[in-house]
Structure 1
Amino acid sequence: MRTFQAYRFALDLTAVQERVVLAHAGAARVAHNWALARVKAVMDQRTAERSYGVPDGQLTPSMSWSLPALRKVWNAAKAEVAPWWAECSKEAFSTGLDALARGLKNWADSRNGRRAGGPVGFPRFKSRHRSTPSVRFTTGTIRIDPDRMHVVLPRLGRLKLHESARKLARRVTNGTARIMSATVRRDGGRWHVAFTVEVERADRTPCRSGSTVGVDVGIKHLAVLSTGELVANPRHLTSAQDRLRALGRALSRKAGPDRRTGQRPSNRWRRAADRLAQAHARVANLRRDGLHKLTTRLAREHGTVVVEDLNVSGMLANRRLARHIADAGFAELRRQLAYKTTWNGGRLVVADRWYPSSKTCSGCGAVKTKLALTEREYHCDTCGLTRDRDLNAAHNLAALATAAEAESAAEVTTAGSGPVTARGANHKTRVRGQEAKKREPGTTPVGQTGTVPPQGRTTNRTLTTAH
């Protein structure tokens, strides 16, 4: 199986090398801002001409937003705009132009309804003080030295790594990996190089290929598994809150930049800002490391992993829980499971976000109309089952995948067709041109197939399966 994978390593740059990398990042920013100004000027000119009543055929010619078109326009004007262009690699300018082309395409697709998710705004100009320095190399000499402690990049030369790159070097030497690009970026006061690699991964099978595990994420426990395991929530941000407050107060006492008067920050302010950035980076690294260990273990041990389709952005609107929800990393956990289950030969099943996993009894299937968040134990009034709220939800998620497999097998036997995977959710929104009607429990939405009728239950379950 061929797939794309990223390898990220920390760099130990000298002062001269850091200035060269910053110059390349600045070149990318200059090309991005210049091209964005050209695009805005053409768009504003066409808008003004339309307001004057100029026919469409006589308007100022529109400007293409593709990367080749932007690169052609930049090459024609770079001698005048940036006389120093020869001091930097051409990949630096392509980095800024590529970022602009992607931003404009995402904005246009969002306006035309061709892009899922929330609305995407129009690209903004990049500031030297607020933007993250980054440059991407796609052509030229990109390799790892035989000592595996240095990398060679175009125009930057030989850069020392903070750690050994033996894992990537072994794959490249064996011919199971091919480096496609390299991105140098500064995060948390430290420089990193990230390689985008096309990897030939061996086919794997989970340790228990027939095992199904339901994963209910939360704040009290990071994850509750249907096997009964409780994964503790480390709360990295809460643990580091005192230190972050102290560093933030120390930063506020230093002479920082002032855009109104043009005052430049002092060296003490810069050092204090670096310490605060490093503290935040440490929290992010600890969170990422814990999530990777959990998701890798789940993907390697179980053949089927079931999670919920949580509305994380909506949950962050709760100001009392927003910081704890963001600290847990619900969306990152699901994202990692999506590709790791594929790598290990398993599958990820995503339950409909409207499926009441917490309100449904895992014993008899009865559904409660209301269940307060403060009720940490689920008590069924029908069968008398008493179980932890999160564990009950995890059992329901695991049963959801089992019911879907049984229905798919029945459909294959009766109709002779392949398994049917239900996609989409019963969103409570009004459809354009139609009158919104309340759907009765136990019925299938109009135009939607693949719902799983539970035994003795009155709620519909919609699944999305990632193979």
Structure 2
Amino acid sequence: VNVLVEDTPRLAFYDSWDIVGIDVNVGHIRWNGGDVNTFTPRMAALHQRIKYYQKCLNRKRRRNPGDYRSKTYQRITAKMNHAYEQVHALQDDLIHKFSHKIINNYPVPCLEDLDVHRMMMDDKKVKGLQRGLFRRLRTAIEYKAAWHHRHLVIANRFFPSTQRCSKCGYIKKVTSYGGKMMLQGDSIYHQHDVYRCYECGLVIDRDDNAVQNLIQYAAGLTPEWETVQR
């Protein structure tokens, strides 16, 4: 039996309410449904414990450089490794619960293709990026989306989700009024968490603006030329 079916291609992937935009940041993840803390108080306490164990081990190595592997040294090392395992288990639990919730409730998740190596600056910010779980979250969503036949959209690395206004499409540049959005905000209002559009007057949370831009990207509502240069 031959069945002829005519299918009309859609310009957008899905309707906007089927899309979830996920904006990952240092310490938290912002999405349509709110905010997820990736550095919980329990993780902070474990990192402080690890820091204390590292100082103890370093002090023992300095006191006895020739032979410092005593039973006390081995016991502290075991405690430190156990704390590392606890941190990893908490991170895995957070990632899998969040990715499971996203995949079950939204047909089209949208993530950014971040260049993490270029985002690293000083030692303190590097630690924050390493604890941000950027790659591990993307890996979990990728294989779960494949299992459940979801349409995963990876936004272009040069898509200006932070610089673009989600209301009018205005993109902040170095030469434009107010400059680009940096870690300390723009050159007029030094507010990291607030996006101000000087074209339409929109004032919105910076992360919420990025999420709306990712939703528009996945829906095919942004021009291709916007991804040429950030």
**TM range, smaller chain:** 0.7 to 0.9
Larger radius of gyration: 1
CA distance in 2, matches of 1:321, 1:255: 28
Q: 1:316 to 1:237 in 2, by over 3 A?
A: farther
CA distance in 1, matches of 2:142, 2:135: 11
Per-residue CA shift, 1:419-465, capped at 9, x if unaligned? xxxxxxxxxxxxxxxxxxxxxxxxxxxxxxxxx626xxx51379xxx
Q: 1:460 to 1:255 in 2, by over 3 A?
A: closer
CA distance in 2, matches of 1:322, 1:271: 29
> Which structure 2 residues correspond to residues 134-145 of structure 1 after superposition, within 5 A?
none
Bigger relative CO (Cα 8 Å, ≥ 6 apart): 2
Shift of 1:327: 0.9
Instruction: Give the structure 1 partner of residue 30 of structure 2.
Output: 224
Instruction: Give the structure 1 partner of residue 140 of structure 2.
Output: 336
Structure 1: runs of 5 or more not aligned: 1-207, 405-451, 463-467
Q: 1:374 to 1:317 in 2, by over 3 A?
A: closer
| TM-score, normalised with respect to structure 1 | 0.40
> Which structure 2 residues correspond to residues 406-445 of structure 1 after superposition, within 5 A?
none
Alignment check: 8 A CA contact 2:16 2:215 kept: no
Question: Aligned with 2:182: secondary structure?
Answer: coil
Equivalent position to 2:167, from 353, 363, 372: 363
> Which structure 2 residues correspond to residues 6-45 of structure 1 after superposition, within 5 A?
none
Structure 2: runs of 5 or more not aligned: 1-14, 174-179, 186-192
Equivalent position to 1:400, from 208, 214, 217: 217
Q: 1:277 to 1:390 in 2, by over 3 A?
A: same
Query: Is 1:304 aligned to residue 108 of structure 2?
Result: yes
Question: Aligned with 2:226: secondary structure?
Answer: coil
> Which structure 2 residues correspond to residues 44-59 of structure 1 after superposition, within 5 A?
none
Q: 1:270 to 1:320 in 2, by over 3 A?
A: closer
CA distance in 2, matches of 1:402, 1:340: 21
Instruction: Give the structure 2 partner of residue 191 of structure 1.
Output: none
Per-residue CA shift, 1:126-171, capped at 9, x if unaligned? xxxxxxxxxxxxxxxxxxxxxxxxxxxxxxxxxxxxxxxxxxxxxx
CA distance in 1, matches of 2:120, 2:43: 16
Question: Aligned with 2:22: secondary structure?
Answer: strand
Per-residue CA shift, 1:176-227, capped at 9, x if unaligned? xxxxxxxxxxxxxxxxxxxxxxxxxxxxxxxx9971011101125x2111x2
Question: Aligned with 2:131: secondary structure?
Answer: helix
Instruction: Give the structure 2 partner of residue 354 of structure 1.
Output: 158
Q: 1:383 to 1:255 in 2, by over 3 A?
A: closer
CA distance in 1, matches of 2:223, 2:61: 65
Equivalent position to 1:251, from 57, 62, 73: 57
Instruction: Give the structure 2 partner of residue 373 of structure 1.
Output: 183
Q: How many residues align structurally?
A: 200
Per-residue CA shift, 1:242-281, capped at 9, x if unaligned? 212222233335479x8x95x4722221111111111111
Instruction: Give the structure 1 partner of residue 19 of structure 2.
Output: 212
CA distance in 2, matches of 1:402, 1:209: 6
Alignment check: 8 A CA contact 2:26 2:128 kept: yes
Per-residue CA shift, 1:63-107, capped at 9, x if unaligned? xxxxxxxxxxxxxxxxxxxxxxxxxxxxxxxxxxxxxxxxxxxxx
Instruction: Give the structure 1 partner of residue 44 of structure 2.
Output: 238
Shift of 1:229: 1.3
Q: 1:367 to 1:209 in 2, by over 3 A?
A: closer
Instruction: Give the structure 2 partner of residue 61 of structure 1.
Output: none
> Which structure 2 residues correspond to residues 277-316 of structure 1 after superposition, within 5 A?
277-316=81-120
CA distance in 2, matches of 1:228, 1:374: 26
Question: Aligned with 1:328: secondary structure?
Answer: coil
| TM-score, normalised with respect to structure 2 | 0.77
Alignment check: 8 A CA contact 1:255 1:269 kept: no
Question: Aligned with 2:98: secondary structure?
Answer: helix
Alignment check: 8 A CA contact 2:156 2:227 kept: no
Q: 1:374 to 1:255 in 2, by over 3 A?
A: closer
Greater strand proportion:
1
Q: 1:373 to 1:252 in 2, by over 3 A?
A: closer
Large movers: runs of 4+ above 4 Å: 253-256
